[in-house]
Structure 1
């Protein structure tokens, strides 16, 4: 990408994604891959088993996401450049770690003698972040977890990503890791229209065409599957996972506050105050214009570079 980023400003990143849950993760994955400030150390496919079954879809959500991640990398000719890891197949049943390749990759990278910050950005449940911390609690001092998830403050309540693994969320928020939370009231502001995507994304290469195509397909499926609820809306979408990328590009110093420690109630998912736990950052604003326009621009630049290389 023709964007000169000083080496001193670059950060290491793992992308953890429930990539086939709907149609927005794909955009955030591409956004991360095309951001030269981010050295993507790997993409981890995360389970979303609870909501997948509730929506009448088959079991095996992690494997479905794995296929989707590899397809995206293939379209971008990045299959040989980016490591892909299998996350856990199911949500955590207890606060006990389970040895697997995704957790081991995070742990290995966290223990490297590298001065650059290490972030794990989770677009779905916190299953794989929690698993790494449970296996190696000491890495919490070397990692920042950025999570798209959690209900609206101050009460909280049911939220899609949280509902797929509340045990993992509680484990992460009870750990010593540095947490940045981007809750629903913020991530849903990344609104775009199908018309905008048709103009600004679809014409730009195989990946641009695919991103919009798969959104149309999911929009049609979900609209038919859930005709009696106000989702999806038909002509618009919220690219709610992209803010996890945005805050690594620009922290939005005046867009967050410090929150004292919390846990999530078992059945209601409401926030329960635990002052003895580590405080964390809660975002109250992430700039939608900056987020979306940065992604659009990078997709268009990527297509220009691809065309130049083929001449």
Structure 2
């Protein structure tokens, strides 16, 4: 049985407070899975006053765009490499391959360069300067790192886009649903966690092709890339919008007022992907709403 270090209530609440300063962060992303990861990668790198991106980790995914989690991870790794050629701010930021499979059990980490680098980077962090681990895909790499070295719980803060709102009928959301064991580890281990749900919260972050044509398309090579990526995601754009889910995690670190949040007891995750609650459990920070307009305004301005 894994013995996770337990933060004092005071330390946990301190870590769950917004840092209100520039932070060090790594971004764990299934970049090829959708079109929103690309926006989040660019948003993070275009926010140097709020965050220093130290590394990118390619996360696994399995859907119609991949033949399995290994293929999804590799495609995400290659997509990060592609973005690095278009975005000068990405020069010199290392990119690591992540897990080739999901966790096969509750205490069985998946070895990867990403997980090992996260352990190394976290353990080199000081208590006063925790590493922010921003995860916008399946949480496999992060959970594996925790299992490989549980002491990183004392050195990191996880900001995760995962699951649906706590009032939702189920939480069968793509990021959370892919790896039940990893999701449970992050919810149960006591690691400081900021949870941003998808349906009911990040689902407010909708935009349209016409908006991106006006405010993104002419912003250099990276603007053209983001615009074309969005344009190609659907055949018919008339009266249709698309959610850019993943920028929510970056926006929280930029300005928490845009993402009203509260302390809640970490929910329990059932086998059939439903939330249940126990008031004796540790606290996490839970985002319950996103004010869409200032988030996109900030992103568009930073592209300019």
Instruction: Mark yes or no: TM-score above 0.5.
Output: yes
User: Which residues of 2 match residues 50-65 of structure 1 at below 5 A?
Assistant: 52=63, 55=64, 57-59=66-68, 60-65=71-76
Is the 2:59–2:76 contact (alpha carbons within 8 Å) kept by the matching residues of 1? yes
**What is the Cα deviation at residue 148 of structure 1?**
0.7
Render the CA deviation track for 1:126-169: whole Å, top value 9, x for unaligned: 11111111111111122111111112223433112111112111
Q: Is the 1:261–1:276 Cα contact (8 Å) retained in structure 2? A: no
Of 197, 205, 208, which residue of structure 1 is paired with 2:212?
197
Return 5+ residue gaps in structure 1 as ranges: 1-7, 224-231, 301-311
Residue 148 of structure 1 contacts residue 244 of structure 1 at CA under 8 Å; is this kept in 2?
yes
Q: Does 1:187 align with 2:187?
A: no
Alignment of 1:18-57 (within 5 A): 18-36=30-48, 37-49=50-62, 52=63, 55=64, 57=66
Tell me the distance in 2 between the aligned counterparts of 1:45 and 1:67: 9
For residues 240-298 of structure 1, the C-alpha deviation after alignment (integer angstroms, 9 at most, x for no partner) is: 111100111122398112221322111x2101224454221110122211211111111
Per the alignment, in what secondary structure is the counterpart of residue 81 of structure 1?
coil
Residue of 210, 232, 237 corresponding to 2:225:
210
Distance 2:77 2:140 in 1: 15
Cα deviation code 1:169-215 (max 9, x no counterpart): 10111112101111121111011111000111111111110111112
| CA distance in 2: counterparts of 1:141 and 1:214, whole angstroms | 38
Work out the CA distance in 2 between the residues paired with 1:276 and 1:97: 27
Question: How far, CA to CA, are the matches of 2:246 and 2:208 in structure 1?
Answer: 16
CA separation in 2, counterparts of 1:10 and 1:249?
9
Pairwise CA RMSD:
2.0
Equivalents in 1 of 2:298, 2:65: separation in Å?
A: 35
Give the structure 1 partner of residue 114 of structure 2.
Answer: 102
Partner SS, residue 31 of structure 1: helix
- Give the Cα–Cα distance (whole angstroms) in 1 for the partners of residues 104 and 287 of structure 2: 28
Residue in 2 aligned with 1:258?
263
Q: Which runs of 5+ in 2 are unaligned?
A: 1-19
| Equivalent residue, structure 1, for 2:249 | 244
Matched residue SS, 1:252: helix
Structure 1 residues 62 and 254: CA distance shift in structure 2, 3 A: closer
CA distance in structure 2 between the partners assigned to 1:30 and 1:161 by the alignment: 20
The Cα shift of 1:235 comes to 2.9
Residues 219, 234 of structure 1: 8 Å contact kept = no
Aligned length: 278
Comparing 121-130 with 76-85, greater Cα deviation is found at: 76-85
Looking at structure 2, the residues matched to 163 and 89 of structure 1 have their Cα atoms a distance apart, in angstroms, of 17
TM-score by length of 1: 0.84
TM-score by structure 2 length? 0.85
Structure 1 distance, partners of 2:187, 2:246, is 20
Equivalent residues in 2 for 1:150-169, closer than 5 Å: 150-154=163-167, 155-169=169-183
Matching of residue 83 in structure 1 with residue 97 in structure 2: no
